Structure 1
Amino acid sequence: MSDSPPLSALIGAALLAAGRPVSAGDLASVLGLPEEAARREVEAFSARLKKAELGFQVEAVAGGYRFVVPPALASHLTPLLAPPPLPPLSSAALEVLAVIAYRQPVTRAEIEAMRGGSASTVVTLQERELVKVVGRADSVGQPLLYGTTERFLLDFGLTSLADLPPLDDTGFAHLLRS
């Protein structure tokens, strides 16, 4: 098959065209390779990009691979980047997000019980696509269950929830306001 494009061209095209992290399984399907071989090809491709200093690189995040600008170059591109960043999350929103991330799926009542206060920032977290409704609890009233999204993984630079730092013996105490 002499008319087949090189694997590196297919990898680059797939990462560019997808506009989201592409899993090793999806790349394996595109490349016609076993998943582990596709991973090795992506790693080799990533190394070649890094060495060539082309202004972008491959990042493993959210269970897949995507193109990113190297952090050292990002500050030089600020005038081109839009829209302006959202204001940082409030400490209350970060507390609610931490509870959801570690305890998911979790109801609003459970979040409020853990925090000792309102979980009204769930709405803000949903608007920012950091959390979503993942189902309903099998309890009276069938309250909504919340969990994190792929956007949460992307924004916090996590490959999976397993990358969250472990909780110590104090549980959530160090994550919550005193």
Structure 2
Amino acid sequence: MQADGGIGAALEAVLMVVDEPVSAAELAATLEVPQPEVEHALAALAAEYAAQGRGFELRAVAGGWRFYSRPEFADIVSKYVLEGQTARLTQAALETLAVIAYRQPVARSRVAAIRGVNVDSVVKTLVTRGLIEDAGNDPESGAILYQTTSYFLERLGIGSAEDLPRLSPHLPGLDELEAIDGAY
């Protein structure tokens, strides 16, 4: 890692994808730089954001660092999140939701294998929107299993997952899905 401003940019890149506070020690290990340099860069970034009056801030909480919306924008953010519940789903979200609906209960890793991409953020979005929920843990791997919710069924106008339209046996790639299924 570069010893100059590259540390700040690298920290921003990592902190943009975390969903819980990350310790300076963990960030230092990830960036392969000494922890005091990371701590200095984090403090400098937090001060820079505060001085610029950005809509977000970098906070040290719960033993780690994470981006948060500034408190004075809480009403706006809350309004956006709640109104976002009615926003249309992206193609990625629709594909992920379809896999979960037809394969439930299913682990996130299986959904990712079927789709061929990381689905972590999409799954969070679907959980936030109340379309999928935790269905317990896989007894073998301990992974969280996901299933559709009653809200999902209500939005589709069906009574249960068994009422979902049947997938055609002639879909391209169906053999590949079975092979992927057997791998888990």
Q: TM-score, normalised by structure 1?
A: 0.47
Which is helix-richer, 1 or 2? 2
